[in-house]
Structure 1
Amino acid sequence: MATTKESEDRAATVARVLRPLGNGPLTKAQALKAAQLLDVHWTTVYHLRQRFLANPVTSAVKPRERGPKTGSRRLSERVEIIVDEVLTTWLPRQRLLAHPLTDLTLEIRSRCAAAGVTPPSRSSVLRRWAAHREAEGSKQASNPVPAPGNFIVRNPLDVVQVDHTQADLLVVDSLSRRPIGRPWLSLAIDIATRCVVGFYVSMDRPGAATVALLLTRVALPKAAWLDKLGIQLEWPMRGVPRVLHLDNAAEFKSRALRSGCTEYGIELMYRPVRRPHYGGHIERLNRTLMERVHGLPGTTGSSPKGRKKRAPEKQAALTLQEFEQWLALEIGQRYHNSAHRGLHGATPASTWNALNGAAVISRSPATPEAEWQFLLQFLPVARRTIQADGLTLFYLRYWHPLFSTWRRDRRTVTVRYHPDDLSRVFVGIPGKAFIEARFADLRHPTISLWEQRSVVRHLRDQGQKLISEAMVFRAIEEQRRLVEKSQRNARSAKRRKPDTDRRAPPKAFPPDSLVPEPTSTSGLQPESVDYSKPAPAYDVEQW
């Protein structure tokens, strides 16, 4: 039986050969050439192409696995994921390791113990490490990093650079208008046209979820997002990139990103470590946007020097959504239509049109179903075991009728989730599409991952060690009621203010020193009135 890696590599090779053939009729000469490249009979090419045209993704031509094969990997899928994460994420961060193999084995064993699975042997770890180093070496040899001066791209979306930066700006809370911190900005720029094909703003440090949402914004239409921002703007630059040029951050090496890029034929190119000039285009764009940000209220400047004199905490005025609106206008209206020195004076928008940028959109998902499948492929991934009460993720419990069967053998499943909507998750079924699992308690409202993490931090600060789903939703509901009450009070105050302004000004009373003190003929002080008792009845004169 071919391993999962071998099947994925074979499918990627087949898709790489079939994609340039387009959608037109296939001649026998083309079929013979493709058969030679794929080492199959030429009639098999027609069968593969028929499957690929029906669903133009890499998994459509994935070969069927028929059984175990000598030399194939015997580790469980969950252990393979742990080993892969340690090799691709944990190991590159370690600068000095006295005994790399021993440290690598201990790290893998500790993670396996925490996950409740049997750890691999030291020899297995050694083989995986050797294969990983060989794969990394062959990848660098087959995909050499171009020198900064020779990085020339001629077609739109052939190469897209992606990077993150923390904005030199303090944003404020939409309710209290108090500073809440500096947002993170994730940008994607098309090298050939210098167009910004997507950006994403968040208060959270960038992670795998950030990259997923940024890529969906790059590839899918931006009309719905612009309508949500309340902006009338033409932004036609979009499409599935052929190559993503990235740095070596952990979020750019996540399993979700690599599997999604393989599915849609996107090559990943990593620039050398500690060589920011290899990403000069995106670095220059970041600097250009930050220069514009320095003119906004609440800017922190690019250096701590003189920050106390600027007092950004006192001048901060923009909320996160208002900053996102400003960025959309700054990029979509000003930057795209301004002369660019790297384009010899042309504008990014005109260069996109001149290079027939609309043609690359044909590679993008064309239907709502295809758009949803694209988003699903890049969503963050988690591994969970189906328990007696269902599936638990982020202290939240989910249920699906299939779980009643899976919970008997405590099946481990792959779960994908959307950070902006945790009311549903998507559970993978081998060989089939994902199924949608909702909250086990359907009365719970929709929440985001940012809300969930904020509430968990709040509960931890209060000394809660054991956190339950009920505690999370109770805290969220209390916070939302507080926000709604504050908003109602603010609206009521705004409605009352015009009425008070139209009233006649009150009479001017003399100062307290001119008001005569109450006198009493008996020389006693006046009695205080007890308003808690009923008023006494007095005899009155009848008329």
Structure 2
Amino acid sequence: MVSAHGGRPVAAARNRQVSLGAYVTFEGRAWQVAAVAGASVRLVDEDGQTASVLASFLFADPTFAVVDSPAPGVVPWGLMESVPVRERERALAWQRHIREIETGLPGGPASSGMPRPEYDPERKSMAEREQAKADELAQLGWPQVSRATVRRMRARYHAGGLMGLIPQRKPSRATGRADERVVAAVLEALRRQRGRSKGTLKGLRQLAGQILADTHGPGVVKVPAPSTFNRLVRVLADPLEHPGRPARTATTTPVRPFTPTVALRPGELVQVDTTRLDVMAVGEDGRAVRPELTIALDVATRSVVAAVLREEGTKAVDAALLLAEMAVPHPARPGWPVHLHLAHAAVPYDRLLALDARLEQAAARPVVVPETIVIDRGAIFVSAAFLAACETLGVSVQPAPPRSPAAKGAVERTFGSINSLFAQHVAGYTGSHVLARGEEVQGEARFIVAQLQELLDEWVTACWQHRPHDGLRHPVLPKKALAPNEMWSALLGTSGYVPLPLTGADYLELLPVRFHPITGRGIRINYRTYDHAVLNEHRGRPCPAGPGGKWEVHLNPHDVRQVYIRLPDGRLHEIPWIHRDHVHAPMSETVWRNIRAALGRRAGRERHEADLAEAADHVLRRARPLPGPGAPAAAAAGPAAVTSTAGPQTADDDAQGEDSLDVLEAHFPDADGHSDGGEELSAPVGRYALYDAFEEAEHW
């Protein structure tokens, strides 16, 4: 598959991708894409003649266009035979009419002939063609046909093919004519019984009656007769939840038929999920924390195409960042061995480099543009920010069914592999459950979250991507288990590679949005003031397009030292925090809240904000791991380092800065129990080599 977008927006580019089997017009003739080999595209016309052209030459042709037509597909005649003849003929007639609306020809883009003037795509818009078809069908005697009817039938055809044009009869409910209030009461009774000793249907009926009485009042809703109630329970209860069968807890799921997830090309299906990593890390404020890990797994190659570690509370911006990370090449970190670069991987590197120059310094990991992402129903994945990011990149989102872990079995199994192959070798490993946990896990934490991220990225590149996977089998070599990188290389020949250009401006657009006024002091967010000279002409003025006259502001919750505001020119401008020069490392919103709780409010707003900036820099410097085998920063600071509130302050404004540092040093002593005045500590030397890639390869 090759891309025809050049420098156009990403959303438009997704609508103009040339994939295998697509119909295109080239040099005034209709062609079908038969193969994509590197930068060359092989075309076949309706007479069987073939042509091989460069993609750049194909896209530069003035007559080039991608015919937007539904996938041909095989008509499900087995189901069509069960449809009445009248409805079947009507569906076939609608199919011809829809094809004429979209391509100008009733037989589709590959048929011969000239389109009628009222359906010529070169002369008439889609709305005009739909209205012409509605008028034509009305003249032919079709009842109740309008332009809205034509649009609805087009949508049904694109969604379900020919079967989508068959009138769908509303299926009967599994619960029959049972009262919805009774159904809700039975479901609530079954939920309360989960994890408890199982009783009888009679006891469950009494519990449902109590729920109905508490919810709607005594005697308002009548409990069904025992026989009717028993039939209703058999319909609503899971097989292992039914009274008289073995009890199950609320987290277990009855055994259902299992079908493995199959994907035939990179990016066709990507599974995303979040879990806690079984490693304790040193937080930004010096506490021992257990970070959250969010990964994206390509099902076709079993490649970890993106992984993001966060100290706590993975946000929608992290999920959006995950999308951008999997779609652009991963840069090889300084100090990585040369065999971890893509140039030394078992892939057609020269051909890929000709398509995307960014791969020259890339790590040996796949780059995929996802077509479909399978998510659970977590808040970050169903948020408006994540769904908007997917829509921008042209990605389809598929939520997994509730209480169905097998729907994301590949990514769930990968989490277990990461914990067993990587996490157990890292200092601060917590074990898979409390019974396997050590006594001093928090005291063993040695790495901050950013360092763990570096280690995880290197491990994924050096170990996971080159480790044979039993689930990866090529049809030519069915007895040999392939590594994720080997499977990616094998599938590149059939699927091709599509470079997706993303810039820093695209990342800023994916950040969370909030709306604030521009005052004479600048922009005030959570006791922080952001100001810049570019705001001068807009101070005190309402935004002409924002809600309530407020301005659109983008904020990164993991680095609050600056915000980005959209001004009337349409671009996002960076506005720094007025004390950004005092904080020399990225500071998250969580650290800011902890600092405020530790220091308390001061009498003067300006002095209070300056104290917070100085305290934030002090915390970020002192939260680094201590050198040598001594106690880590997490153990020195203690879990309650920043959760207690400072007592009332009685000093005047001139001594507030000294008081703030005194309070801070009381909460964050060094390893000896004394304050060192904010001296910067160096990172531990030789602590990051958790494995040797060459030595590990000898065991594979």
TM-score per shorter chain, which class?
A: 0.5 to 0.7
Query: Structure 1 residues 316 and 445 mapped into 2: Cα distance closer, same or farther (>3 Å)?
Result: closer
Question: What is the CA distance between 1:298 and its match in structure 2?
Answer: 2.0
1:414 aligns with 2:552: yes
Query: Structure 1 residues 439 and 459 mapped into 2: Cα distance closer, same or farther (>3 Å)?
Result: same
**3-state SS of the aligned residue for 2:16?**
helix
Question: What is the CA distance between 1:331 and its match in structure 2?
Answer: 1.4
Query: Structure 1 residues 12 and 35 mapped into 2: Cα distance closer, same or farther (>3 Å)?
Result: farther
Rounded to whole Å, the distance in 2 between the matches of 1:38 and 1:391 is 53
Q: What amino acid does structure 1 have at the position aligned with 2:550?
A: T
| Aligned match of 1:424 | 562
Query: Structure 1 residues 185 and 473 mapped into 2: Cα distance closer, same or farther (>3 Å)?
Result: farther
Query: Structure 1 residues 467 and 358 mapped into 2: Cα distance closer, same or farther (>3 Å)?
Result: farther
User: Residue 311 of structure 2: which of 203, 210, 223 is its match?
Assistant: 203
Query: Structure 1 residues 451 and 440 mapped into 2: Cα distance closer, same or farther (>3 Å)?
Result: closer
Rounded to whole Å, the distance in 2 between the matches of 1:416 and 1:29 is 36
| Aligned match of 2:441 | 312
Rounded to whole Å, the distance in 1 between the matches of 2:605 and 2:496 is 48
1:96-111 alignment, distance < 5 Å: none
Rounded to whole Å, the distance in 1 between the matches of 2:65 and 2:284 is 64
| Aligned match of 1:30 | 67
User: Residue 372 of structure 1: which of 496, 504, 526 is its match?
Assistant: 504
Contact 2:564 2:574 in 1 (8 A): yes
Question: What is the CA distance between 1:285 and its match in structure 2?
Answer: 0.2
Rounded to whole Å, the distance in 2 between the matches of 1:469 and 1:229 is 44
| Aligned match of 2:122 | 43
**3-state SS of the aligned residue for 2:463?**
helix
Question: What is the CA distance between 1:385 and its match in structure 2?
Answer: 3.3
Q: What amino acid does structure 2 have at the position aligned with 1:197?
A: V
Contact 2:560 2:587 in 1 (8 A): no
Contact 1:35 1:42 in 2 (8 A): no
**3-state SS of the aligned residue for 1:342?**
coil
User: Residue 283 of structure 1: which of 412, 417, 421 is its match?
Assistant: 412
1:327 aligns with 2:456: yes
1:478 aligns with 2:478: no
1:398-413 alignment, distance < 5 Å: 398-399=530-531, 401=534, 404-405=537-538, 407-409=540-542, 411-413=549-551
Query: Structure 1 residues 489 and 157 mapped into 2: Cα distance closer, same or farther (>3 Å)?
Result: closer
Rounded to whole Å, the distance in 1 between the matches of 2:68 and 2:258 is 39
Rounded to whole Å, the distance in 2 between the matches of 1:210 and 1:287 is 22
Query: Structure 1 residues 210 and 154 mapped into 2: Cα distance closer, same or farther (>3 Å)?
Result: same
Write the deviation string for residues 66-100 of structure 1: whole angstroms up to 9, x where unpaired: xxxxxxxxxxxxxxxxxxxxxxxxxxxxx9999xx
**3-state SS of the aligned residue for 2:553?**
strand
Question: What is the CA distance between 1:256 and its match in structure 2?
Answer: 2.0
**3-state SS of the aligned residue for 2:333?**
helix
| Aligned match of 1:154 | 264
Give % identity.
21
Rounded to whole Å, the distance in 1 between the matches of 2:327 and 2:593 is 33
Rounded to whole Å, the distance in 2 between the matches of 1:442 and 1:316 is 31
Q: What amino acid does structure 2 have at the position aligned with 1:163?
A: D
Greater helix fraction, Structure 1 or Structure 2: 1
Query: Structure 1 residues 252 and 294 mapped into 2: Cα distance closer, same or farther (>3 Å)?
Result: same
Query: Structure 1 residues 307 and 420 mapped into 2: Cα distance closer, same or farther (>3 Å)?
Result: closer
Contact 2:298 2:304 in 1 (8 A): yes
Q: What amino acid does structure 2 have at the position aligned with 1:218?
A: M
1:456 aligns with 2:593: yes
Write the deviation string for residues 285-319 of structure 1: whole angstroms up to 9, x where unpaired: 0011111212433211111114255x323433344
Question: What is the CA distance between 1:148 and its match in structure 2?
Answer: 5.6
| Aligned match of 1:392 | 524
Give me the TM-score of the superposition, normalised by structure 2.
0.47
Question: What is the CA distance between 1:446 and its match in structure 2?
Answer: 5.8
Rounded to whole Å, the distance in 2 between the matches of 1:14 and 1:201 is 32
- Give 5+ residue unaligned stretches, structure 1: 1-10, 48-94, 99-146, 495-543
1:296-311 alignment, distance < 5 Å: 296-309=426-439, 311=440
Question: What is the CA distance between 1:393 and its match in structure 2?
Answer: 2.9
1:268 aligns with 2:397: yes
Write the deviation string for residues 241-294 of structure 1: whole angstroms up to 9, x where unpaired: 111111111111222222222122111111112222211111000011111212
Question: What is the CA distance between 1:476 and its match in structure 2?
Answer: 3.2
| Aligned match of 1:133 | none
Query: Structure 1 residues 404 and 31 mapped into 2: Cα distance closer, same or farther (>3 Å)?
Result: same
Question: What is the CA distance between 1:324 and its match in structure 2?
Answer: 2.3
**3-state SS of the aligned residue for 2:560?**
strand
Higher mean displacement: 245-254 or 289-298? 289-298
**3-state SS of the aligned residue for 1:221?**
coil
Rounded to whole Å, the distance in 1 between the matches of 2:328 and 2:65 is 35
Higher mean displacement: 399-408 or 233-242? 399-408
Rounded to whole Å, the distance in 2 between the matches of 1:296 and 1:238 is 27
Root-mean-square deviation (CA, aligned residues, Å) is 4.3
- Give 5+ residue unaligned stretches, structure 2: 1-8, 25-57, 71-98, 105-118, 127-190, 193-210, 213-256, 341-362, 474-480, 544-548, 623-675, 686-700
Higher mean displacement: 445-454 or 472-481? 445-454
Q: What amino acid does structure 2 have at the position aligned with 1:414?
A: E
Query: Structure 1 residues 352 and 13 mapped into 2: Cα distance closer, same or farther (>3 Å)?
Result: closer
Q: What amino acid does structure 2 have at the position aligned with 1:30?
A: V
